[in-house]
Chains A and B, each alone.
Chain A
Amino acid sequence: MKPFLRICLILSILLTSGCWDRTEINDLAFITGTAFDLTEKGEYLLSLQFAVPTSSDGGGTGEPQQKFFVLSATGKNANEAFEKIQKKNSRKLFTAHRSVILIGESLGRHGINDVLDVFSHDPRQRLKTYIMVVKGGEAQEVLQTRYPFDQVPMEAVKEMEIQRAEIATSLRDFFLAASSPGVYPMMGVIEAVSEGSNPSNKTNMFKLSGAAVFKDLKLVGLLDGFEADGLNWANSHMKDGRINAELPEGIGNVGMVVVRASRMIKSDLRGDRIHFKIILHGKGTLIENNTDLDVSVPKNLTLVQHALEKSAEKQIHNAILKLQKQFKADAIGLGRELYRNKPTEWKAVQKEWDQKFAEAEVTVDVKLTIGGAGMAGPPLQLNAEEILK
């Protein structure tokens, strides 16, 4: 090949391909959180939280710089509102670092179909972004909250979600659940609260508070934190959880941390009623013993274990009951279980699944393995005579 031609070909690689969309990092506005609300006129209110890149050693004197700010705009759809915010911003909006999408409760009840689609179409969105419902009030209030720990408050929300203390749903999880048969999506719920004893100087905070159940992309009900914990396990999403139980005869209470949990669902069709058996295995250690029992004695440990199992069963069962009776929404995927294992039966009940689910009989069976009684058998503060062997 002639050298001249060779050079031309190499140059053509440089000139005709590749990313000519070079943007310096300081020409980007990093969106860390997005909130969607419904205005009274029925339009969508989009709020974006931007991180303000500030150097940590900036001067030292003077007031601490604001680490973030929020811009809002209304529009008929997300794209329109986004465009309006871009016009307010000197830098290019950059969505890839967004960690949380917040949905106002009112918008949730109205239906989130119109705001969701933008996340699946635009390639610059991350499906790993967490999506949450803001309980009571507007979603943008949470965006405005100053959180003392992290540079940007929404990073804190992300960290909270990563801990999986409660139901954590990413866009991907949500889309998966919404599009698959026999299961309804859930989302984490966040709430703006104020903390602190001094009423004039309260810190604005937010806290995770339960889960939201969606049906046909409409919010149908909220579960509180206790119920959500139970569902988390039943959904086999639990990373670690705590169980507390009151022992019979008023001896006291015990608490344990579950570090490994698994779930199994057995279904059984007897005539018209469907019977589900949810078997949950948990492994963990006892961390609190407010009784006089010496838990290093096997007999006592069994007693404690049974109490804990009972307590967990009740917690989970109550949550499922709420789903069945109140929301008539199968958010733990019992229908999906049926769809996978008994396809022909599923076809028969598919159409009226909501009703069938509400009527189904669900039993919860928790089996705990207490791996250790902690560092001491009986509470250390008791003397030998007080301890029950």
Chain B
Amino acid sequence: MKRFRKWLRAEPRHTSLPEKLHSEDDENVELTMDLNQNERTFRDIFKNCFDINFRKISLAGQERQLVIFIASLVNEEIIDDHILHPMLVNGIDKEAENEQYDAEALDNSVISAGSTKRSSNVNEIVRQLLDGHAAILTGSDNKAVLVKANGIKQRSLEEPSSEPVIRGPRDGFIESLSTNVGLLRGRLKTSRLKTEAVTIGSLSQTQVVLTYITGIASEALIDEVRERVKRIRIDAILDSGYIEEFIEDLPYSPFPQVHNTERPDVVTGELLEGKIAILVDNSPIALIVPMTFWTGLQASEDYYVRWPIATFVRWIRFLFLFIAIFAPSLYVAVTTFHQEMIPTNLVLSIASSREAVPFPALFEALSMEIVFEALREAGIRLPKQIGQAISIVGALVIGQAAVQAGIISAPVVIIVSITGIATFAIPRYSFASGVRLLRFPILFLAGTLGLYGIVLGFLCIVLHVASLRSFGVPYLTPLGPVTVTSLKDVLIRVPVWARGKRPGAAGTSDSVRVPAGQKPSPFREDRERN
């Protein structure tokens, strides 16, 4: 254990890559008044980059301005229409007056793009160039105008493939951070929705945005999340999954402590309950903290369908959660240790189906579970065209053929299928994966110790879950430490008009969500009179 930890924490032998790069950069290089020298500086920095463009504007045989941009990052239409065109048109006028623009004049009265800034620091300019800005250097100033001209092609908004709904909004996050933030802003038109940006990754310079609603999210929580995110030091962030692993409370737990979603409406709902979302550029998955056990069992659609149905579905999920963890283990334990617990007719039919099977029940169940996992994994990774083949082969192999060949008994196939269905009934994929993982140790315990083993395993799970915390919030809240008022969104899903106050996690002034007294009822005259 110690060695394992040591190995996990081991420092690389060489100086870490990010720091080396960092030291190469000279922070304080400033632009000069000499346009040619500035050009040389940038040409040097972007040596061997085919997509860097230097567009010189010379009027009357004199080089006056230099526009630098990275063609693969910008939208050239913006460059043409809002930078080059106004500069050339206005430049001719100025030429007549024999004047030259300095950076401020350019910025204020020539450039027609929306987002601009000025800088004289070479490093800053390089950073902005890499972020899709165009830099305009002028011979009469040591400052450059930076114009935002981002234009990476993005896919369009699509229905989130990992969290489909029958009823509810169908837009999902995409890989563009600004689009994603826009999706949230479109839902919460308030200035209280804050979007704090942090740049992480020495090479990737990935923008990570913390969003929350001031007055609803607690300040302590915001500070904690900000602290944890800012602590991250890494070369590149490729997906929000990287961030999740850095900020979670207990990395050894099978249960996810950071909630992730592809749906802007889920993020909005959680923000309204005082949680904090973390959006990461280039990732369509948003992170939400803190997470509780129950979020793992809630789907966004719960809030869009009528409440009795949602409540019923929630209880079905509790049942299936139990089945997903314990069904194969219970079967193994009962058939190998506690045969007296099965009704006589059932025990006889199980016995008859096991007559020809050569393996112990534990081995049967374990192997079928593993085959099922393989099928599931193969089904996800395979191209869609081949996917069908897998399901046909799977149904044949783990279904009929195995039973007919007398290798596997029919009840085990049924149990494994039910367990499979049960894990798919858990709406959050990351939570379901954790549950899937737990099944195997419990199965092993059941096969060696019987029901006693299952009880041991169950106790371990309960102890673990009860002690788990996500950003200071107990994982079982509001059932762990009981908060009666918050239970209305856990064990049942109360009607929207009965929602009342925000759940206890948010400790703030703005606690009422739905004012009381809105229960719908048919129109009555006496009500009108009162």
Contact = CB atoms under 8 A, between A and B. Distances in A.
Q: Main SS of chain A's interface residues?
A: loop
Contact of A25 (B344, B361, B447, B449): B361
Q: Which of B1, B350, B351 has the most CB of A within 10 A?
A: B351
Interface string A12-54: 0110011111111110101010000000000000000001011
Contact of A96 (B2, B340, B450): B340
A165 B339 CA distance: 30
A19 B449 contact: yes
B353 interface: yes
B456 A13 contact: yes
Given A22-B337, A24-B361, A25-B339, A99 B344 contact: yes
Contacts of A124: 340
Contacts of A54: 352, 355
Interface in B325-340: 335-337, 339-340
B509 interface: no
A23 B351 CA distance: 12
A240 interface: no
Interface string B438-460: 00000001011110110010000
A152 interface: yes
A24 B336 CA distance: 5
A166 to B, nearest CB: 22
Contact of B351 (A4, A13, A53): A53
A7 B4 CA distance: 15
Interface string B340-363: 100011011111111101001100
Contacts of B448: 14, 18, 20, 22
Contacts of B353: 55
A30 B348 contact: yes
Contacts of B1: 3-4, 7
B409 to A, nearest CB: 9
Nearest to A13: B456
Given A17-B452, A97-B347, A99-B344, A26 B339 contact: no
Given A24-B336, A96-B340, A18 B351 contact: no
Given A24-B354, A24-B360, A96-B339, A53 B449 contact: no
Contacts of A23: 336-337, 339
Contacts of A51: 344, 348
A25 B452 contact: no
A318 interface: no
A155 interface: yes
A26 B2 contact: no
A300 interface: no
Interface residues of B, number: 29
A13 B456 CA distance: 10
A20 B336 CA distance: 10
Given A13-B456, A19-B449, A53 B348 contact: yes
A144 to B, nearest CB: 19
A3 B2 contact: yes
Contacts of A13: 456
Nearest to B344: A97
Contacts, number: 86
Contact of B348 (A19, A20, A151): A151
Contacts of B449: 14, 17-19
A94 interface: yes
B339 A94 contact: yes
Nearest to B452: A18
Nearest to A58: B352
Interface in A219-252: none
A26 B351 contact: yes
Contacts of B348: 30, 51, 53, 151-152
A17 B349 CA distance: 31
A112 to B, nearest CB: 25
A92 to B, nearest CB: 10
Given A14-B448, A18-B450, A25 B340 contact: no
Interface string A49-74: 00101111000000000000000000
Given A13-B456, A32-B344, A151-B345, A25 B350 contact: yes
A3 B354 CA distance: 41
A24 B357 CA distance: 11
Nearest to B350: A25
Given A32-B344, A51-B348, A97-B344, A18 B336 contact: no
A54 B353 CA distance: 8
A332 to B, nearest CB: 32
Interface in B290-347: 335-337, 339-340, 344-345, 347
Interface string A234-274: 00000000000000000000000000000000000000000
A337 to B, nearest CB: 36
B357 A30 contact: no
A257 B44 CA distance: 106
Contacts of B355: 26, 53-55
Contacts of A3: 1-2
A199 B339 CA distance: 42
Given A3-B1, A3-B2, A99-B344, A18 B453 contact: yes
Given A14-B449, A97-B344, A21 B337 contact: yes
A22 B336 contact: yes
Contacts of B347: 25, 30, 97
B337 A28 contact: no
A302 to B, nearest CB: 47
B486 to A, nearest CB: 35
B240 to A, nearest CB: 32
Contacts of A18: 448-450, 452-453
Contacts of B2: 3
A24 B447 CA distance: 11
Nearest to B445: A14
Contacts of B339: 23, 25, 28, 94, 96-97
A26 B357 contact: yes
Contacts of A96: 339-340
A155 B453 CA distance: 32
B452 A28 contact: no
A24 B358 CA distance: 10
A56 B355 CA distance: 12
Contacts of A155: 344-345
A232 B425 CA distance: 52
A215 B484 CA distance: 61
Contacts of A99: 344
Contacts of A94: 339-340
Contacts of A53: 348-349, 351-352, 354-355
Nearest to B451: A19
A283 B450 CA distance: 48
A23 B362 CA distance: 11
Contact of B340 (A4, A22, A26, A97): A97
Nearest to B447: A22
A51 B349 CA distance: 11
A14 B449 CA distance: 7
A48 to B, nearest CB: 15
A7 B453 CA distance: 16
A162 to B, nearest CB: 12
A94 B450 CA distance: 18
B141 to A, nearest CB: 65
Interface string B1-27: 110000000000000000000000000
A56 B348 CA distance: 11
Given A4-B1, A22-B336, 5 more contacts: A28-B351, A30-B348, A53-B355, A54-B355, A99-B344
17 contacts: A14-B445, A18-B452, A19-B452, A22-B360, A24-B354, A25-B335, A28-B351, A51-B348, A53-B351, A53-B352, A54-B355, A96-B340, A97-B340, A99-B344, A151-B345, A152-B348, A155-B344
Interface of B: 1-2, 335-337, 339-340, 344-345, 347-355, 357, 360-361, 445, 447-450, 452-453, 456
> Which 6 residue pairs are nearest across A and B when measured between Cβ atoms?
A96-B340, A18-B449, A53-B352, A3-B1, A53-B351, A19-B450
